[in-house]
Amino acid sequence: MAMAMHAAPGQQGHGAKPPEEQSLTAAVPIPSGASGMRDVEVDSVPTCAIATSLLFFPLLPLGKWYTVDAKTATATLHCGVLTRIDEDPGCHWTWPCGAEQHSISTKQRTLELSTAKVADGNGNPVNVSAIINFRVVDPKKAMLNVEHMQKYVDTNAQAVLKQTVSHYTYDRLKEEYDSVNETMRAQLQPLLVVAGVEVASMCLNDLSYAPEVAAAMLKKQQASALIEARTLIVEGACRIAQDAVGRLQQDGTVDFTDDQKVKIITNLLTVTCSETDATPTLGL
């Protein structure tokens, strides 16, 4: 069990980050003045807290002991002043009087945004939701700069999702999936700088037409599919008719007049393009 003793009033217990933590934090620089908010600095323990702790020391023989879990950061405040931030797992000690702790996890988190109804680029209402993967890279900002970090991320992500979807049509959202996801992530990241949060990804999760237009849009999709199918059938029927007449003429066994060619092609097109079985008839 690791112990970090707070021996002097001005000593800070901010431990060094593991190598992987330092690399991830350095990869996403978070400027202190990005949001115009003044950061809270780590200060020494107020004299009144030390004096009171020494005064009541016989009643508090063990002082203020607390533990820090792995992948967790704990901020200690004395009389409202931030005095230390611990990120090293283990048991730690601080002056007991006037002390309070706030902890936050630095593990990777996943947040699923609730389904929202948004008008797409064509004005059609669509139901859309998203999933965000993020983590806290600056515990001090996450604990002290925003009231509720998780709610702050959720609210801003909802706004970015609605704004992004409104600039794309339903078909483009389906086709340009990767581009839309990267656009949302890039727009959300600057908003979360003040909370010390790094967004790993933001992906569309659910995308569908709203119930009031779903039936009409389904008919539109069916009509589009029917036209494509009919076009393919007609093109194939024309090639079949041309090949049939051409092969018969190349053999030299049959000579067709123009009227006979028209009748053969008409019959072949009728049989190939018809949705029902052809019924042969004989002229009297």
pLDDT higher at 118 or 229: 118
DSSP label of 70 = T
Q: Looking at 14-23, 191-200, 204-213, 267-276, which range is the least confident one?
A: 14-23
Please report the pLDDT score of residue 1 as a whole number: 36
Q: Looking at 53-62, 75-84, 121-130, 262-271, which range is the least confident one?
A: 53-62
| b/e burial code for range 77-98 (CB count within 10 A of at least 16 → b) | bbeebbbbbbbbeeebbbbbbb
Q: Give the Cα separation of 4 and 236 in Å (integer).
A: 81
Model confidence at 187: pLDDT above 50: yes
Averaged pLDDT, 169-178: 89
Please report the pLDDT score of residue 275 as a whole number: 66
Report residue 39 as tokens. 């950061």
- Nearest Cα to Cα of residue 249 among 272, 273, 268, 241: 241
Please report the pLDDT score of residue 226 as a whole number: 72
Please report the pLDDT score of residue 131 as a whole number: 96
Please report the pLDDT score of residue 48 as a whole number: 62
Residue 123: pLDDT band with limits 50, 70, 90: confident
- Nearest Cα to Cα of residue 68 among 44, 103, 24, 98: 103
Helices (H), 145-210: 149-165, 170-175, 177-188
Please report the pLDDT score of residue 87 as a whole number: 87
Beta strands per DSSP E along the chain:
3-4, 64-68, 72-78, 81-86, 90-94, 99-105, 109-112, 116-119, 125-136, 197-209
pLDDT above 70 covers a percentage of the chain that reads: 69
| b/e burial code for range 128-140 (CB count within 10 A of at least 16 → b) | bbbbbebbbbbbb
Model confidence at 83: pLDDT above 50: yes
Q: Give the Cα separation of 133 and 244 in Å (integer).
A: 61
- Give the DSSP per-residue string, 225-245: HHHHHHHHHHHHHHHHHHHHH
For the purposes of burial, counting CB atoms within 10 Å of the CB of 68, is it exposed (0-12), middle (13-18) or buried (19 or more)? buried
Model confidence at 233: pLDDT above 50: yes
Averaged pLDDT, 186-199: 95
Q: Give the Cα separation of 226 and 240 in Å (integer).
A: 21
Q: Give the Cα separation of 183 and 177 in Å (integer).
A: 10
pLDDT in tens, 8-59: 344 344 444 444 333 333 333 434 444 566 666 665 566 666 666 556 565 5
| Residue partners of 83: CB distance under 8 A and separation at least 6 | 12, 42, 43, 44, 45, 76, 77, 94
Q: Give the Cα separation of 201 and 132 in Å (integer).
A: 6
pLDDT higher at 129 or 53: 129
CA 192 to chain centre: 14
Alpha-carbon separation of residue 268 from 206, 249, 254, 265, 284 (angstroms): 46, 16, 17, 5, 22
Mean pLDDT of the chain, nearest integer: 76
pLDDT above 90 covers a percentage of the chain that reads: 29
